[in-house]
Structure 1
Amino acid sequence: MVKTILKRIIQLIPILFIVSTIIFVITRMIPGDPAKTMLGPQAPVEAVEELREELGLNKSIGEQYLIYLKDVTKGDFGKSYAYNEPVMKLILERFPNTLILTVVSLCLAMLVAIPIGIISATRQYSIFDYVSMIGALVGVSMPIFWLGLMLVLVFSVNLDWLPSIGMGSLDKGLWDVIKHLILPSVCMATIPAATFARITRSSMLDVVKQDYIKSLRSKGLRESIVIWKHALKNALPPILTVIGLQVSTSLSGAILTETIFSWPGMGRMIVDAIENRDYMLIQGAVLFIAFLFVFVNLIVDILYLYVNPKVSYDGDKGGGE
């Protein structure tokens, strides 16, 4: 166990190095000059050059890259051009908002989709199975930006039931925060829910056909115990993998949802940073998300060992059982 964790942690280093290099190159390819963006199109050339020198943009790309890597290895993501504040401070201010939205949406997706997947597997080829899987296919295929706009149009504009902008305030009570959270969390939960339902059904179908499940049934155990206690436990590994990937994807893919609903999270911050040509904030935010992605995958690998101790991640054994 300890050896596996150490190997995964060591593997983070080259991954994060590659990501930091790619994002550095991509940010420099964004059209526009951060200094001109900050000062405006009417700013004199002298003022623009002075600001470029202050920000270190007058140096060569190679020099900027070496300075960037040196700072990142120290845990310093630099200072935002637009906010004039440390990037890490801005990330830590916005990340909890994105985390709240991600956790709520994924919990909602799991609570709805996993039971649907289990029931579909136990009632294969029934009307419920067909309807739920068609719904899952629609959910996976539905564009988030379109769904978000439709939710706003129906529940905010036409019915005036729920707010569509911001995340509310605890000063106005917990219900105000919950009301602001409903639409973005439902929007963000759609694709994960569809994915969870399909994977759960597929995994459960493989398990319920096993001989030991038939043996448990022949012993007279209640069907609910056979399915929810024994079959589900052995069907969990693929489901855990998908949940881990969806956590990472949701944290990094909340940009559209947060933009549509003006949710003050990291996704919205990245969009604003791109508009402002804020290189340091873009680099820091994307690198932070990349770290979360690989960290969540590490947690999933560890959970695998607890759920199914027969699984081995030792490369010398070929990763088999």
Structure 2
Amino acid sequence: MAFVLRRVGHSLVVLLGVTVVVFALVHLVPGDPVRIAMGTRYDPDVYAALREASGLDRPLLEQYVAYLGSALTGDLGVSFRSGEPVTTILLSRLPATVSLAVAGLVVALVVAFPLGVYSALHHGKASDVIVRIVSQVGVSVPDFWMAMLLILLFSSTLGWLPPSGYVPLTEDPVEWARRVAMPAVTLGLVAGSIMTRYIRSSVLEVLGADHVRTAESKGLRERVVLGRHVVRNALVPVLTIVGVQLATMLGGVIVVEVVFAWPGLGRLVLDAVAARDYPVVQGAVLLVAAMFLLVNLVVDLLYARVDPRIKVSR
């Protein structure tokens, strides 16, 4: 419990720092959000009234203090562009981001775990070299190129999957699966290529440990040695990269969301930056930072479940 409280305290400090950095950066970006929102319907009196209503006429420090006070109560402000509460906008985009991130992580684990373990068990052989080459290609291929190839093959040529769009999981699970398939594969193949290399290295390191050689000398079956003594111990360092990849996906992979017209947080931030919609940018970045910290906390707690030698109470 002490460990959890300490980590939560650290996370709150980090979130405070995030609010300072993001608030400063968005106000350094050239462009007047009120003027952009008005478009061609510019009127000096309306312009002045909107700036006063949005608080942009006040000093930056005063604006930040007001924003921080509202954020602590769950009020992240109102969008300059749509006039909707930022919290409402974020909550409407969150399910799409979470569903895509989870689907992408599942694809990544399905690809990375067997390939990483197989490559480590066949270290130095031709199959190991092939796996390493394939994983390196997966890391090097740009997201947008892989996404376009998938659309060309499965949508334009074969006609099996829709090229873009989003349907909520709760409305139509089958249609959601059809539409999430290509974005998830795009994310999963890239993340899986990265994770394959980490899993291979981790399994190789454990295979050379003394306790594995002792288990083998006792005559235990290879399956038992692999499951009890190799894979479980190799999972500890692998959890870190899994958590990082999941947090990255939750943060919104902008290119993938734009290509597949996926209404997630990444695309929301891109549109908000273009429109100088400060409240939406600040709220979205704050939410992403909170999810990233939450994932890291969960990963730390999982360490103790995977490896009993780790004591989180210390």
TM-score range relative to shorter protein: over 0.9
Residue aligning to 2:297: 298
Q: Name the counterpart of 1:204.
A: 203
How many angstroms does 1:163 deviate by?
A: 1.3
Alignment of 1:66-105 (within 5 A): 66-105=65-104
Q: Deviations over 1:243-297 (max 9, x none)?
A: 1111111111422211111111111211221222111011001001101111111
Q: Which residue of 1 aligns with 2:249?
A: 250
Q: Which amino acid aligns with 1:252?
A: G
- Is this contact kept in 2: 1:78–1:280, CA < 8 A? yes
CA contact (8 A) 1:144 1:257 kept: yes
Shift of 1:13: 1.9
Moved over 4 A (4+): 169-173, 312-315
Kept in 2, the 8 Å contact 1:98–1:254? The answer is no
**Kept after mapping to 1: 8 A contact 2:107/2:189:** no
Within 2, Cα distance between the matches of 1:220 and 1:154? 49
Structure 1: runs of 5+ lacking an equivalent: 316-321
Amino acid in structure 2 at the alignment position of 1:270: V
- Determine the C-alpha separation between the residues in 1 that align with 2:196 and 2:66: 47
What aligned pairs does 1:266-277 form with structure 2 within 5 A after superposition? 266-277=265-276
* C-alpha contact 2:96 2:168 (8 A) present in aligned 1: no
- Counterpart Cα distance in 2 of 1:11 and 1:243: 21
Distance 2:259 2:30 in 1: 24
TM-score, normalising length from structure 1?
A: 0.92
Query: Using the alignment, how far apart are the partners of 2:192 and 2:84 within structure 1?
Result: 38
Q: Is the Cα contact below 8 Å between 1:102 and 1:251 reproduced in 2?
A: yes
Give the deviation of 1:33 after TM superposition: 1.3
State the alpha-carbon separation in 2 of the partners of residues 60 and 142 from structure 1.
Answer: 46
- Which residue of 2 is the match for residue 165 of structure 1? 164
Query: Shift of the alpha carbon at 1:19?
Result: 0.4
**Quick one: which amino acid aligns to residue 7 of structure 1?**
R
| Unmatched runs of 5 consecutive residues or more in structure 2 | none
1:47-78, CA deviations, whole angstroms, 9 ceiling, x for partnerless residues?
22221122111112122111111112222211
What residue in structure 1 maps to residue 132 of structure 2? Answer: 133
Per the normalisation by structure 2, the TM-score is 0.94
Partner Cα separation in structure 1 for residue 72 and residue 176 of structure 2: 38
**Separation in structure 1 between the aligned mates of residue 294 and residue 168 of structure 2, nearest angstrom:** 31
Q: What is the rounded CA distance, in whole Å, between the counterparts of 1:121 and 1:82 in structure 2?
A: 53
Moved more, 249-258 or 112-121: 249-258
SS in 1 for 2:203: helix
Q: Is the 8 A contact 1:77 1:86 kept in 2?
A: yes
1:121 aligns with 2:143: no
Q: Report which stretch shifted further, 15-24 or 208-217.
A: 208-217
Quote the RMSD (CA, aligned, Å): 1.9
Partner amino acid for 2:256? T
Give the fraction of aligned pairs with identical amino acids, expressed as a percent: 37
Q: 1:6-85 maps to which residues of 2 (within 5 A)?
A: 6-85=5-84
Report the counterpart of residue 112 of structure 1 in structure 2. Answer: 111
- CA–CA separation in structure 1 for the residues paired with 2:114 and 2:164: 32
User: May I ask how many residue pairs the two structures share in their alignment?
Assistant: 314
**What SS does structure 2 have at the residue aligned with 1:249?**
helix
Q: For 2:222 and 2:169, how far apart are their aligned partners in 1?
A: 45
| Alpha carbons 2:252, 2:267 under 8 Å: kept | no
CA contact (8 A) 2:111 2:189 kept: no
